[in-house]
Structure 1
Amino acid sequence: MKAIIYEGANTISVSEKEIPEVREGWALIKTSHVGICGTDLNIYAGAHPRATAPLVMGHEFSGYIVAGHPTLQEGTRVTVNPLLTCGTCTPCVTGQSHVCETLKLVGIDCDGAMAEYVLAPIDRILPLSADLSSKLAALMEPVAVAVHAARQGSYIPGDSVVVFGGGTIGLCVAMTLKSYGASNIMIVEPNQLRIKKIEELGFITINPLTENVKDMIMKNTRGVGADFVIDCAGHPSVVPQLTETVKVRGKIIIVAAYKKPPEVNLLQGMFKELTMSFVRVYTEKDFQLAQDLLEKEPAFEKIITHVLPVEEAQDGFDLLTNASDAIKVMYRFD
């Protein structure tokens, strides 16, 4: 089978690889669509602490059952919750397996879906409805992250929201909150090409390179500050603005993963009695809600800006590591 293989820092290849053999508890899936995630970019840069070359990346995907599933017939369209949990640690046995003490993922800790075929645990495979395309189904994993962020922060319809970062996760968060009733959503994003897409989707944009972020947020919230400030950027320059732009007793939600510990103004957090929550992946319920959301909101497909054949593997990573209008880049294998 053809596979996109991470060979080392900033190096991938399109190579032939043996089709995985079905093993107990796992099923073989023919890949349809697979997205490049921020984690894949981290692996590509050689900066992920667990991923080791050679590796087939890819944990956001859809496909078709080939063999090994006890109830789903061959050809059934599916997606996969890629979390691999131990089932025995305290978080797992208390219903919080998404923060398993030894959490692993398909496409990071074992070969993933940037190949014609991929293995996945049977209990993590979800059949797709006829209303959901395979292309859009490959976006389900990042939408599940967004759903988890909304639920983790106890979002209430009508609350004002600022999202820092207009990439895939930022837009998934914004569109999820919009579908849940948010009407005043501001997205802070410096990439002018992305800003155009964000505005097409109907969101208020703030360019930190040309506008004063705090002034613009205060203007759009009548001087109060935002009810929710959500960090999907993960850039050190964003952190001071989180406590500045959220209202008194407002909520900050950290979705982005920081490579280095940032400095947080805890005194300002104290004076404003802020709540800061952190998001790590998603629960099984979040994943189910993401599927429901995608079936009802086809507009999410607008986040997918590029779908490439496997032969253009390098182009996909180049789009996301250089200045471009790319948001979600996918490969198509079927």
Structure 2
Amino acid sequence: MKALVYTGPKKAEVLECKEPIKSDGKIKIDIKYCGVCGSDIGIFLGTHPRAKAPLILGHEFLGIVAENGRLFKKGDRVVAYPLISCHHCLACRNGNEHVCNTLKLIGIDTDGGMAQTIYVDENILFKVPEQVSDKAAVTVEPLAVLVHALHMVDMHVLDTAVISGAGPIGLLCGLMLKHAGADKVFISDVAEKRLAIAEQLNLTPVNLKKENLLEVVKKATDNEGCDVFFECSGAADPAMQMSEITRVRGRICIVAVHKAPHEVNLRDINFKEQTVVGTRVYTKDEFGKAVNLTAELEKDLEKIVTHIVPLSESNKVFDIIANLDNGSAKVVVDCQK
């Protein structure tokens, strides 16, 4: 079978690989689409702390069940919950398997879904609603990240929200905030084409090349600041500014994984009695909720998928993502082409 394989720093190659071997409790999936995640970029660059070459990339995959199993039948369209937990550490014993002390993921610690086929445990699969398009269904995994983030930050109806970063996670964050009843949602970035997608999602874009985010938010909130701030960029400047942009007793949610320590204004957090919440992936229940949400959000989810690249040319996906001028948001690999 063909697969996109990480073969070393800044090297991803489409290779002919051995078909995966069936084992007890696993079922064969023919992969349709697989999304490219920020963690895949880190693997490609050689900076991911766990991923080792050679590795088949991809944990955001949608596929068709290729054989009858215990829970699913041939032809079912499914997505996979990709987290691998130990089930023994304190976090796991307390029901927090998603923050397991030794958390692993398919596509990072084991071969993933940017391939023509894969075998996975049936108990990690979720059936996709029949009416939902493939293009929308492939966004389930990153959508689950935002379902979890909104649960963690205690989102309120009619909140004014600010999102730093209009990449796929930032755009999905805005979509979820609107769905949850937020009043104003500002989203900042320097990539104009991504901000144009944000506008299509009924978000208020802030182009940092032309506007000052603090001034925009203060003007819109009688100089008070936003109710909730979502840091989705992973950059240094928003880490320093987020407490200033957020109001007294406001909430700050760290969604992006920051690759290096960044300065934070702890005095602001003290004096304004702000709450800062960290988030990491999602629970299995939240993943299931994201599956169901695709039926309600289908048309907007499709807007976030900007590029579908055939598997045969998938070695180009990281160049596509790196080029901000081409308007890429969510890039997806079509594993049947």
Q: Give the TM-score, by structure 2 length.
A: 0.97
User: Residue 123 of structure 1 aligns to a residue in which SS?
Assistant: helix
* 30-39 or 124-133, which deviates more: 124-133
| 1:316 lines up with 2:317 in the alignment | yes
Q: Which amino acid aligns with 2:334?
A: R
* Counterpart in the other structure of 1:328: 330
Residue 249 of structure 2 corresponds to: 249
Partner Cα separation in structure 2 for residue 90 and residue 123 of structure 1: 22
Between the aligned partners of 1:302 and 1:91, the Cα distance in structure 2 is: 36
Q: Within 5 Å, which residues of 2 pair with 1:22-171?
A: 22-67=22-67, 69-171=69-171
Cross-structure match for 1:292? 292
User: Structure 2: how far apart are the matches of 1:332 and 1:132?
Assistant: 17
**Partner amino acid for 2:330?**
K
Q: CA separation in 1, counterparts of 2:220 and 2:288?
A: 34
Shift of 1:119: 2.2
- The CA deviation at 1:241 is 1.1
Amino acid at match of 2:196: K
Instruction: Specify the SS of the correspondent of 2:236.
Output: coil
Over residues 62-118 of structure 1, what are the superposed CA-to-partner deviations in whole Å (9 max), with x where a residue is unaligned? 001124732211221110010011111111121111011111000000000000011
Aligned to 1:181: 181
Q: Aligned to 1:238, what secondary structure does the other structure show? A: helix
How far the C-alpha of 1:192 sits from its partner, in A, is 1.5
Deviations 1:198-233 (A, max 9, x none): 122221111122211110111122211000000000
SS of residue matched to 1:205: strand
Contact 2:164-2:238 within 8 A present in 1 as well: yes
> Deviation at 1:133?
2.2
Deviation at 1:134, TM superposition (A): 2.5
Q: What's the secondary structure of 2:320's corresponding residue? A: helix
Partner Cα distance (1:155, 1:287) in 2: 18
Q: Percent same amino acid among aligned pairs? A: 37
- CA distance in structure 2 between the aligned counterparts of 1:12 and 1:261, rounded to whole angstroms: 28
Moved more, 195-204 or 267-276: 195-204
Residues 133-153 of structure 1: per-residue CA shift (max 9 Å, x gap): 233211100000011011100
Query: What residue ranges of structure 1 are gaps of 5+ in the alignment?
Result: none
For 1:177, the aligned partner's letter is L
Paired amino acid for 1:313: S
Amino acid paired to 1:327: A
Aligned residues: 334
SS of 1:330 mapped into structure 2:
strand
SS, match of residue 61 in structure 1:
strand
2:33–2:334 contact (8 Å) kept in structure 1: yes
- Per-residue CA deviation, residues 3-36 of structure 1 (Å, 9 max, x unaligned), is 1111111111111111101112322211000000
Larger mean Cα displacement after TM superposition, 280-289 or 42-51:
280-289
Counterpart of 1:331, as a letter, is V
Contact 2:126/2:291 (8 A) holds in 1: no
CA distance in 2, matches of 1:16, 1:9: 20
1:307 is paired with a residue whose SS is strand
One-letter code of the match for 1:316? V
The answer to whether the 8 A contact 2:305-2:331 is kept is yes
Q: Deviations over 1:162-191 (max 9, x none)?
A: 000001000111101111111200001111
Contact 2:129 2:292 in 1 (8 A): no
Matched AA of 1:232:
C
Q: Residue in 2 aligned with 1:228?
A: 228
Asked if the contact 1:26–1:68 (Cα under 8 Å) also holds between the matched residues in 2, the reply is: no
Residues 63, 134 of structure 1: 8 Å contact kept: no
Distance 1:186 1:265 in 2: 21
CA distance in 1, matches of 2:190, 2:120: 37
Q: Is the 8 A contact 1:28 1:68 kept in 2?
A: no
CA distance in structure 1 between the aligned counterparts of 2:265 and 2:69, rounded to whole angstroms: 51
Structure 2: which 5+ residue stretches go unaligned?
none
SS of equivalent residue, structure 1 residue 237: helix
- Bigger mean CA offset, 225-234 vs 119-128: 119-128
